[in-house]
Amino acid sequence: MNDERLKILGLNIKFARLKAKISQEMLAEKIGVSRETISMIENGNQNTSVLKILDIASILNVELCQLFKDI
């Protein structure tokens, strides 16, 4: 999958995760996916459900709109 929107979403998630000082492993565990899945999402190589994105925003303590910034 090569959609620029997924790459931007992934970078926004990665930035928020790093700012929150949460590892990929910890985030993955909290939303019930593998670390590899988080890596693929952050690299824009995997689409994910809106519900997972809502979970990610909640865990990272960011507004949903921050994850969709610049898309």
pLDDT at 2 over 70: no
pLDDT at 1 over 80: no
Helix ranges (DSSP H) in the chain: 4-19, 24-31, 35-42, 50-60, 64-67
At 40, give phi and psi (nearest 5°). -65, -40
pLDDT at 71 over 60: yes
What does CATH list as the number for 4-67?
Answer: 1.10.260.40
Segments making up each domain of the chain, as ranges: 4-67
pLDDT in tens, 3-58: 999 999 999 999 999 999 999 999 999 999 999 999 999 999 999 999 999 999 99
pLDDT at residue 38, as a whole number: 98
